[in-house]
């Protein structure tokens, strides 16, 4: 995913016409929680016990040139 400088991941994803869910835009509802498959971000990142990384795109910003995320399952 590419994005403009200073653009959070959720806004960048919407620019790609993604149908990924989002709601509050401040990180409290967790509707946009996604799996972080590749790349580095500044923001709300959680690492689960199995090593999977989860991110809240609405309050996270890309730190690497390429960031790959997908909506978390249910």
Q: What is the pLDDT of residues 20-61, one digit of tens each?
A: 666 777 888 888 899 999 999 998 899 999 999 999 988 999
Convert the pLDDT of each residue in 24-33 to its tens digit.
778 888 888 9
Count the Cβ atoms, other than its own, within 10 Å of residue 48.
Answer: 9
Q: Which domains does the chain have, with CATH numbers?
A: 9-71 (3.10.20.30)
Whether the pTM exceeds 0.75: the reply is no
Count the Cβ atoms, other than its own, within 10 Å of residue 56.
Answer: 25
Give dist(CA 10, CA 44) in Å, integer: 13
Using the CB atoms, write b or e for 22-33: b if 16+ within 10 Å.
Answer: beeeebeeeebb
* Bridge partner residues of 53 (DSSP): 47
């Amino acid at each position: 995913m590419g994005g403009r400088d200073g653009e959070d991941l959720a806004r960048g994803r919407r620019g790609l016409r993604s149908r990924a869910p989002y709601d509050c835009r401040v990180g409290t509802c967790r509707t946009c929680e996604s799996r972080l498959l590749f790349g580095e971000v500044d923001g709300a990142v959680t690492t689960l016990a199995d090593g999977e990384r989860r991110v809240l795109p609405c309050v996270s910003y890309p730190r690497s040139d390429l960031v790959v995320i997908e909506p978390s399952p249910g």
